[in-house]
Structure 1
Amino acid sequence: MIPALAPLFIAEFAHYRDVLVLNDDPREGIPLRTLLDPEIFDQVLDRFGAHYAEGDRRGLASIWTKYYFIKLIPPVVAASLVLGHRLPLHLERLQLVLDEQGMPQAFKLPDAGQRWASTPTDPFQRFEDLIEGHLRPFIDGVAGRVRVSPKVLWSNAGNYFEWLLGVLAAGVPHADLGHGHELLAAPTQPDGTRNPLYQPVRYVKVIGQHGLKRQRRVCCVRYLVGGLEYCENCPLPARERRLECALIKSAN
């Protein structure tokens, strides 16, 4: 555990205590630059996919990144928004701890980071290390290995980012989450390019149901893996799901 982050690891966040660690953690880690080597990544995905029948590698990779993002994003974003703590997140400097099934367990950081010397002026400055230093090279690397759309993987990351903001709003009402919401609400980045985390989730009215349904904007394609159904927040209507499955099967 990184001592400066200890105030975060209470109640439902307690299980994140040993997720962000330093290099003195005794668990074996693999450098993330090595993980994205085609041969090594294939081995990890094979280990992970051994528990799934007829696992299409695009679906397997998407599911695996979900486990990756749910480990990485909550403690990193909470550290920034709640504690004002900036962590060293550049992919080239981190190691990933995997369990025997190839599941992400922890990230070894080169140092403990530090509090922001001055408050970031906008969400892209605050989350630059996470987005440009880590998520972009990681997502580009995974997408290139298994030919899954980067939009699917960015959506996986954005889904957990949006979910976390709701958790923090309920559990830490005094926290200023403005930059988190601003990031997800911005269609473009400061340089004018598309913001890949723009509105990953929407809330829609469903006929016959009370309240609004939380729905992803982009499907995670987990249905490509044999034996798995669509997520509860899948954006694809039933007819589109059947058609997409038919097209995929005809192409294989």
Structure 2
Amino acid sequence: MTTNAISMPETAVAKGLSAAFAGPHAWCNEKMLLSADLVDGIPLTEFFASGAFDRALSTYAASFEGGDRRAVASMWSLFYLSSLTIPYVVAWALERQVLPISFDQMTVALSADGLPRALGVPAPGEWSHGDGQEIFSALQPLMDEHLVRVIAHLKSVGGIAPKLAWNNAAVYIDYALRSAGTEPLNDQADAMTSLRLMPNGAPNPFFDCLRHEDEDGARVCRRKICCLRYLLPGIPSCGSLCALPNQRNQ
């Protein structure tokens, strides 16, 4: 994103990490905090390199009595990626606030079941000018400075394919853009998954991850790759979003 940093708005300081985290997005306050306020947070570099991630997956897997390891890792990633991508996109979409989400500078705190409870960032970031509507410019820091790194760990430790992890991330980015409630952002959500190449010429990892189809007179969003939740007992189907027809009503 071509940006010109401007001074931090006092209203955003008064309301916490982002003024965007209010109303229907207030829950983001519990998922992304300043690292200084996440007192039990562990630096991500330490968490993923020390074996703590492997132990977290094993703790979470104990809930499913030997459930498929890839499905466990995929479900774990849903909690992580939603906590990362939705606050980031909401802050950008509603406040033009670019949160500092570099993998090397963030922390993570876990719940007792091994799932990520919250993520910590070092600062509130910067507020930017610019067109604000070119989705790949907005997502580039998220993709290059964070998603690429965590998706590599999801593959090496959790055993899930990068295409699955990118699809998991795409679901939440699409949701965050559409829930911001403006038609241009709906167009950008469509562009995110419909373009084979990004504007810089690089392959788009989100290409074709989601498809919006008409079904029984309604427009539904559908994943390309299943998140594997059906392999874990007690986890409900994601309904019409599921890539597998036989799992949509389970």
| Same fold per superposition (TM over 0.5) | yes
Structure 1 stretches of 4+ with a deviation exceeding 6 A read: none
Of 118, 122, 128, 1:110 maps to 122
Task: Please provide the CA RMSD for this pair.
Answer: 2.6
Q: Aligned in 2, Cα 1:204/1:176: closer, same or farther, shift over 3 Å? A: closer
Q: Aligned in 2, Cα 1:181/1:210: closer, same or farther, shift over 3 Å? A: closer
Normalised to the residue count of structure 2, the TM-score between the two structures is 0.82
Q: How does 1:92-241 map to 2 (within 5 A)?
A: 92-116=104-128, 118-119=130-131, 122-169=134-181, 173=182, 179-206=188-215, 209-228=216-235, 230-232=237-239, 233-238=241-246
Q: Which runs of 5+ in 2 are unaligned?
A: 1-11
Partners of 2:121 and 2:97 in 1: CA distance: 14
Normalised to the residue count of structure 1, the TM-score between the two structures is 0.82
Report the secondary structure of 2:118's partner residue.
Answer: strand
Q: Which residue of 1 aligns with 2:66?
A: 54
Question: Quick one: percent identity of the two aligned structures?
Answer: 26
Q: Which residue of 2 aligns with 1:246?
A: none
Q: Aligned in 2, Cα 1:140/1:117: closer, same or farther, shift over 3 Å? A: same
Partners of 2:42 and 2:171 in 1: CA distance: 26
Partners of 1:189 and 1:149 in 2: CA distance: 21
**Aligned length in residues:** 234
Partners of 2:102 and 2:192 in 1: CA distance: 19
Partners of 1:152 and 1:190 in 2: CA distance: 23
Partners of 1:121 and 1:107 in 2: CA distance: 26
Partners of 1:62 and 1:73 in 2: CA distance: 16
Partners of 2:197 and 2:122 in 1: CA distance: 31
Deviation of 1:197 (Å): 1.4
Q: Aligned in 2, Cα 1:93/1:43: closer, same or farther, shift over 3 Å? A: same
